[in-house]
Amino acid sequence: MSNSHASTAETDQNQGNELKTVCNSDSVNVT
């Protein structure tokens, strides 16, 4: 259970980083 929970937390962080990267890329493209 602990391992699964940790994996979920890591996945959430990775998704957040990906979203930030996408937002940055969009801003650059718009500019």
1-31: pLDDT as tens digits: 455 555 666 666 666 666 666 656 666 665 5
DSSP code, position 1? -
Q: Is the pTM of this model over 0.75?
A: no
The two tokens of residue 30 are: 């718009």
Torsion of CA 7, 8, 10, 12, to 10 degrees: 170
The three-state secondary structure class of 31 is coil
* Separation of alpha carbons 8 and 16, rounded Å: 12
